[in-house]
A and B are shown apart, each in its own frame.
Chain A
């Protein structure tokens, strides 16, 4: 199984500052079609996961431009610019390169 390892944040992050979350995979997430199958989700308390980005860097419909995904191969980053109170929650990376699909353990973002 592909293991996904997420980094921590120096919480709390002051409102208006930027925050970057890292995610490493134990195997390359590049598929034979050339796409890199890495998703990012935000889960707010009491809510279902919300897709933020897919294929590493494509923002999902309705997601703010303040969220940007980057990376390649086995190392990925989600950057949140000008954090707001509504960005608080737990962020998960997920690989959909192969089965079983696996998630990172989550990174909590608290806003000051």
Chain B
């Protein structure tokens, strides 16, 4: 059974670094790519970046200078780190599996940037 679950702090202070984890089960990170997508409250979806099954990464150019995606295949985890957070980074952050489609999504984790 394929599952993805995001975890991380619910509150981050402005200018600090966000660290999120996507823990997957039911498949191997060496077989499938995982993407991160975020959604500010009441707004649309924004693609952030991808960890490919071979370890390659690709980022949204709008976030590239602040964003890093990595993984630990032994723990079935994909990590997102984004620095210099601002209030506009307040959003629900999702991870999703890329199998040519985007059928499987995590439940999302709400992150609020506030002092």
A112 to chain B, nearest CB (A): 23
The answer to whether A103 touches B101 (Cβ under 8 A) is no
Main secondary structure of the interface of A (DSSP, over half): loop
Q: Which of A8-16, A19-27, A48-56, A81-89 contacts B (4 or more CB under 8 A)?
A: A48-56
Interface size of A by CB at 8 A reads 22
Within 8 A of A (CB), among B82-104: 94, 100-103
DSSP class of B's interface residues: helix, strand, loop or mixed? loop
Interface check B45, CB cutoff 8 A: yes
Are A48 and B44 in contact, with the CB atoms below 8 A?
no
Contact A101 B105 (CB under 8 A): no
Number of A-B contacts (CB under 8 A): 47
**Contact in complex: B45, A54 (CB < 8 Å):** no
Question: Is B106 in contact with A39, judged by CB distance below 8 angstroms?
Answer: no
- Does A69 have its Cβ within 8 Å of any Cβ on chain B? no
The reply to whether A49 and B105 contact each other, CB–CB distance below 8 Å, is yes
Within 8 Å by CB of B35, from A41, A60, A101, lies A101
State the CA gap A99–B60 with chains docked (Å).
Answer: 8
**Which B residues touch A94, using CB under 8 A?**
45, 102
| B47 interface contact, C-beta 8 A | yes
Residues of B within 8 A of A50 (CB): 105
Q: Is the CB of B45 within 8 A of A103?
A: yes
A67 at the interface (CB under 8 A from B): no
A28 adjacent to chain B (CB < 8 Å) = no
Contact mask for chain A residues 24-66; partner B; CB cutoff 8 A; 1 contact, 0 none: 0000000000000001010100001111001000001100000
Measuring CB to CB, which residues of chain B are less than 8 angstroms from any residue of chain A?
35, 37, 44-47, 50, 58, 60-62, 94, 100-103, 105-108
